[in-house]
Amino acid sequence: MRDAVTSLIKTYDITGRYFDRDAIDTLKDYFASGMDRVTVATVLNANAASLVKSASLALFEEVPELLRPGGNAYTTRRYAACLRDMDYYLRYASYAIVAGDADVLNERVLYGLRETYNSLGVPIAPTVRGIQIMKEMARGMAAEAGVTNNAVVDAPFDHMTRELSEVDI
């Protein structure tokens, strides 16, 4: 898993360039946000089960047809799979927060996920909404922990929702 520093170094190394002002500013931002990133990851880890449960309840309240016969969370097995997936998204979001880089999301979560969900008949829109709900709750938890830099929390969740969302061409 790469972090923001190794990704930056790799980019400059491939092009054979020395760090410029943008690279130095990126490194400064990365190190300045380090404590916030670790704090947010700690809070998410400590509250993962309750966050996933609360987010799923909010999602099912917004989209109750998921729990009705024929819905993708109708059976116990499907309901459990939905919670499992939400937990995966949260766990990998916390990895990306610590790393300060979304590459782990691409490598471990997003590559091929939309196609897999489509082939299994899993609706993507509720998945995206569930991730958005978790982001909102994570922001609240981060604020309670004293982290005011919302970008630290938003970045991985926004990346996942952007990549999973349908795009009109």
- Measured between alpha carbons, how far is residue 92 from residues 20, 43, 88, 142 in Å? 31, 14, 6, 17
What's the pLDDT at 119? 85
What's the pLDDT at 123? 87
What's the pLDDT at 116? 85
Q: For domain 33-164, which architecture applies?
A: Orthogonal Bundle (1.10)
What's the pLDDT at 167? 54
Instruction: Please say whether the beta carbons of 147 and 41 come within 8 A.
Output: no
pLDDT tens digits along 83-133: 999 999 999 999 999 999 988 898 888 888 878 888 888 889 999 999 999
For 98, residues 6+ apart whose C-beta sits below 8 A from its C-beta are 3, 37, 38, 41
d(CA 109, CA 167): 18
pLDDT tens digits along 43-78: 999 999 999 999 999 999 999 999 999 999 999 999
Q: Where are the domains of the chain?
A: 1-32, 33-164
d(CA 109, CA 103): 10
CA dihedral of 15, 18, 19, 20, whole degrees rounded to 10: -100
Q: Is the dihedral of CA 129, 131, 135, 137 positive or negative?
A: positive
